[in-house]
Amino acid sequence: MGYFEMTGDLDARAHEILTENDRGGYTIPTKGLYPFQWNWDSAFVALGFATFDQNRAWTEIESLLEGQWENGFLPHIVFRRDDPTYFPGPKEWGTAKHHWIPTSGITQPPVLATVLRELFETGTPDLVRQRMKPLFPKVLAWHAWYHANRAVGNTGMVAIAHPWESGRDNLPDWDAPLGDVDISDLEPYERKDVTHVNQDMRPQQFDYDRYVRLVHFGRDIGWDRDRMVEESPFWVADVGVTSILLRADRDLLALAQVLGDYAAIAQLEAWIAKGEEGIDRLWNDKVFAYTSYNIRRDTRADMVGGGTLLPFYAGVADPNRLDALFAHMDRWWGRCEFGVPSFDPDHKKFDSIRYWRGPIWAVVNWLVARGLSDMGFEARAERVRSNTQTLIENAGFRENFCPATGVGCGGHDFSWTAAIWLNLQHQNRARVAA
């Protein structure tokens, strides 16, 4: 069987997964484990739909933005309907007064502008003109919320108020900051995630208790911005979100220029300049990598994860730091059959199958490969893309993958893994046709 015949079967299965996880205008990540609409999942899902149904891709984004609050905030979960198989559900978040659709009270990495630009540049002109223009001010409002509510002073760094806001939920970077979260008054609760997935692949109880306590903290202060900044026990500048927001600002700037929105252009240019400063501040000379920064303790993480490569995605490639970053990549590949692991395989906290403490995620690989390619490091980008495709070919559309063996981990029939496959295959075919 030829390559494109074999991948054609996987294309068909990826289509089926997106269709099966479609709940009528919005897509769940996977059945059981994640039964609602997630923020950056939907953005990536739109990339998958765009390869065979452009209208449905735009609908995914439009439905996600229905969950946006009046202040521009775009939550990480939109609870379209109740489902007792997931915790914490809408009652735990206590956001009913903020929006007509129940949502969570935290956000996720802002990849939406980047996806919006890709749909704009690759879509049918008539459809693009009809769908993109009304979405632009909503995405711009979300960016404004980010810069007002998650900015670390005037540093250009971007903070997260919960590990889940990073999108890389269980990263060892968060262990020390989570240790300062007091759980002495934690309300009783029942985890649901371990009923769907092997508990060895999920966060440990230490982490989950603190995740829930942070949800209750936000609920108890009514998700007040000022109190969050001043009082949240978890307040960490994240390389990943800082990088993703900078890239998103650049992509939104490109759309603002097309639309001739001069006020937006000026604002975005200012945010971009500040974001570049922020990434520079997150460089850590002790480990020769970009690392997170615990604002409450004024300490830098002494460990390296896949997020250290995301400044490439942001368009930042300091020539004085390239050798150190590529040395980390090469060291990881020397230890693992596949890349890019979500955490340093030489570190004692590395766990090849536990959620975000080592496994590979197709979406992060997509971000890393896109950044490397855009910055001119095509051979490295192609290796990341090739690894991603091989993992999916061998293990299917899993939530994540063991970097040592390639075994699939976490949930099955995952929407964003299917979407990334379709997007990569679409790019492959375009390169062959060219």
Return the bridge partners of 30, or none.
34
Q: From the centroid of its chain, how far is CA 44?
A: 9
* Cα 397 from Cα 413, distance rounded (Å): 5
Phi, psi of 368, deg, nearest 5: -65, -45
Query: Reduced to 3 states, what is the DSSP secondary structure of residue 400?
Result: strand
Catalytic residue among 53, 169, 276, 280, which?
Answer: 169
Helix (H, G, I), strand (E, B) or coil at 202: coil
Task: State how far the Cα of 402 lies from the Cα of 123, in Å rounded to an integer.
Answer: 35
Q: Can you tell me whether residue 383 is helix, strand or coil?
A: helix
Is residue 357 within 8 Å of residue 170, measured between CB atoms? Answer: yes
207 is catalytic: no
Active site residue 231: no
HSE value, Cβ hemisphere, 13 Å, CA-based, for 310: 30
What backbone torsions phi and psi does residue 124 show, to the nearest 5 degrees? -70, 125
Given the residues 251, 351, 399, 413, select the one marked as catalytic: 399
Give the DSSP letter of residue 160.
E
189 touches 84 (CB < 8 A) = no
Pairing of strands 236-237, 159-160: antiparallel
Q: Tally the C-alpha atoms within 13 A of residue 409's C-alpha that lie toward its C-beta.
A: 24
SS3 (DSSP) at 323: helix
As a whole number of angstroms, the distance between CA 221 and CA 144 comes to 22
Q: Please list the active-site residues.
A: 169, 399
